[in-house]
Structure 1
């Protein structure tokens, strides 16, 4: 008998950034996450696959991110960025020789990994992980909208488009999705069932903390899994978590001439100029300590749940993939240590699919409107701080649903109009405004896509816009299979 079952779920997502600025927000964000999170996390998964391990973790990859990781423009861009990283490492050598050597090794590894495995995009790499059952892949709606605020017709179209996009790239349609922002409104499970979705994620409070098993929603057979916050917050919470340890590399402190990060966290209230130099050996010791603590936390939680329920139970811990390596430099090393130590501690490590197969499904549940945002409600995406974005989105939806999108053949103007509307409705823009994280950029992005949609919608009504649609398609071109007639 095992202690119980553990599922690690990673959510990989960035909004559409290609062709929309470089720094400090824009393509730089994509390339940093690619270099520091996606390359090392996928390398870890490939090594587990080579060892013959199955159901290592559940990996969500949103369609809009997958589109960028396969896009020739982005592939050229990240390759240039990796080369520039190595040049920046060399430039720091006279002033910071240890940092320079360390960053040279890291950039060389990333260049070799990219050139040998990623030159044709992410999909061939991801498909091998899916086919070998090393992971369970989660999909999602096309451009990561906040689904409860979408008209049901548009919500269904966005989900169908996203699932079809994953099928085109991977060769199979995911049975599970990461619902954007873990957002839920009553009745959404019926739309999931109609699209073939069999499982999705919510946050723990959506299930009143009763996350020890998956739960069918309402009278459907669609199963929701709740994030166990007691365990998940050991890693990352609004106030505490492992990444804040004084020994870890500080994300926010730069050596400005090179753009490299030379310091350790040192202390929460320590000024950047007073932070101590990064010490890899101290950071490695912290990784070992925190991995052991996390395994101990999981085991204790599973034992408590078994006492409560009288049988082996389930713990689901879910995080953004970008935490591992990008925000938390040592995150990939911690991830590997945990995934190797948990089985040795008697914990069955599997995917959400594996949890269902193992029988971790409880009684049906009714869920209230919720999300994983602050307050666990919807205010991050529809509160007073983003009233302008909400109004803009509502107008886009009304005009989109009023368009005549029927026709005997595909219309590239209609297709691009719908594409721009989906990009305008991304949940990222409201999130960034509410959190005051590059709010001006977020408002600009929502507005520019809404304006482009309105321009194409007007041209469509007059039978024009072919040249403009082709021009915009070169800039905003995800979801090439998108057929606007699916909304008719």
Structure 2
């Protein structure tokens, strides 16, 4: 993906209100969010009282009122200490590094400001410029700005105190440990008001094409006691949908419909040597999925994941409760604790134990997150490559060694080589001409009257999962028929190529750093089967290849960490695995309007959580539901969808609806006017996370 052009100083289009309902609260607030090493976003609101005070000052000096935003910086080794002192109420001033005149401070509420240099800690100060000087009205919290490159100071590999925690359970003489980490996540979508929702089908597609095939593959490995282990991150929203009775019933019906459609295709293509065998392939596959889901799992997919973990072929971890993007939560620890703490609690409820690791949503890391993870007993978290490579001090081993960030918590960085061979649009395996073409589907290819009954309510054309063509040649629209046997030959070749590449990589890295190399290969779970139909078979063969290797072990991150005699210690920086490597995907003119109400809601929830339920059952329910609505509004999926331009009205509507519900509940909690029937209705619609503790928000 290409990097976005950094925005120049300009008012944020998201503040115009053209595409969303602007929210004004009549309160004084100022927030600074870091977009990337050279750009910050400042959002604010000035109350009528403060605006009147500023106007009075200007009148006293007989000068026109001129609002300004100044960005101040503190840097050096004491920057973090000064930022903490400022948060505690001590006066701390920094050097002004950017100044912006605001032509309409009372109308606009968001500006991007370019920074002259990267690094350090910055804050925004909003005030009025008068002949007597600059008069401060509001200031934001300090925020850490990431550096643009590696540190000049190189760190060294030190003894790993975690290495002696347990006896080795895999070969300690390998040149490398490969940890394949699949992230399974979908936003919480449940629409009882519709008979068949287009958005609910995201879960159906992921189950049919990714989760059930991956489980079948892992169960097969467990049966034949094949070596190797992968790690799977199950998001709490995904787990909540997997246990929802309504969604279970609807998925069972969906499987029945697809079996019917596949049987019709068998009849349609009988005698057709190109498509007939493939139609039978799909019919058999859907029947097998029905047996797997209905008879073997009794519709309990979470239990199936528990079983594969118990068999030893997979380790399960989790991510943020609703996949909230942590770097843009200005309240920081309380918001992080709510997202991560609710996730740990939900994972423990559904899986039966606390997670050892955490997939930070979007691999979004901000300095300080590790302290919250340590509180929760989480031992490691995944970040993108540059979070490790640009850490302070610079880790000489790069991503080939875990980074100890304190309190027994490790940051593990994505291995760029492993990722490129799967993700790259030019070098990646999924683009092979013999693999199945995702975008040719019977939902679009057949006449509408033949598929209408299988489409969502309203007859919107969409993917149905029956795809009869291979990629062929991306340069041209023509597609040849898909042949699963030919594709399987390419899977074998690609799996062998991947294993050889990792062996060579591990040997070279091990020679360079003087110990076995750690390599993290993280992928979206939905890549395997959904986007890349042959993906589960490829993964199975990769694990077989590594199992036969005398160079590599395929194991989970914590197992690998315990086997490495030395690790680096240091501090990573703000980062993500999104386009550009920072926050630009989730903080852009098309979605930045969400942050003022989200940040206000987080602060409101903190106050309400500190007040507690006062022993009142109705208040306890309302408080818990307010927490749910805030978490759901924070989901990174909505900002991502707005940025990518897919189903934007749905993403915008979900954000607005959760904010509206939260604000109604907050008003009722503050005023003692709780409507229990209204709360019950909200619980019926969005009652996920039954064990949610509102105290996490305090």
Q: TM-score, normalised by structure 2?
A: 0.67
User: What is aligned with 1:107?
Assistant: 286
Decide which structure has the larger Cα Rg and report it: 2
User: What is aligned with 2:614?
Assistant: 407
Q: 1:284 aligns with which of 488, 495, 510?
A: 488
Instruction: Identify which range, 431-440 or 247-256, moves more after superposition.
Output: 431-440
Instruction: Identify which range, 49-58 or 341-350, moves more after superposition.
Output: 49-58
Q: Check whether the contact 2:421–2:428 (CA below 8 A) recurs between aligned residues.
A: yes
2:200 counterpart of 1:19 = no
Q: Check whether the contact 1:232–1:318 (CA below 8 A) recurs between aligned residues.
A: yes
User: What is aligned with 2:365?
Assistant: 184
Three-state SS of the structure 2 residue aligned to 1:16 is: coil
**Structure 1 residue 361: deviation in Å?**
5.0
Q: 1:64 aligns with which of 213, 230, 237?
A: 237
How many pairs align?
Answer: 485
User: What is aligned with 1:394?
Assistant: 599
**Structure 1 residue 416: deviation in Å?**
1.2
2:556 counterpart of 1:351 = yes
Alignment of 1:85-484 (within 5 A): 85-97=258-270, 98=276, 99-150=278-329, 151=331, 152-208=333-389, 210-217=398-405, 219-237=406-424, 239-255=426-442, 256=444, 257=446, 258=451, 259=464, 260-271=466-477, 274-346=478-550, 347-359=552-564, 362-403=567-608, 404-410=611-617, 411-461=620-670, 462-484=672-694
Q: Check whether the contact 2:226–2:547 (CA below 8 A) recurs between aligned residues.
A: no
Compare the two structures and name the one with the higher strand fraction: 2
- CA separation in 1, counterparts of 2:400 and 2:594? 37
**Structure 1 residue 409: deviation in Å?**
5.0
- CA separation in 2, counterparts of 1:314 and 1:134? 19
Three-state SS of the structure 1 residue aligned to 2:266 is: coil
Alpha carbons of structure 1 residues 120 and 89: separation in structure 2 relative to 1, 3 Å: closer
- CA separation in 2, counterparts of 1:308 and 1:261? 46
Q: Deviations over 1:44-65 (max 9, x none)?
A: 2222223345761111101111
Q: Check whether the contact 2:425–2:431 (CA below 8 A) recurs between aligned residues.
A: no
Q: Deviations over 1:55-109 (max 9, x none)?
A: 6111110111111111111111111111111111122234334232121011011
Alpha carbons of structure 1 residues 143 and 336: separation in structure 2 relative to 1, 3 Å: same
Q: Check whether the contact 1:2–1:312 (CA below 8 A) recurs between aligned residues.
A: yes
- Unaligned segments of structure 2, at least 5 residues: 1-172, 271-275, 391-397, 452-463
Q: Deviations over 1:135-182 (max 9, x none)?
A: 221122211111122222121122111101111112210111111111
More RCO (CA 8 Å, sep 6+) = 1
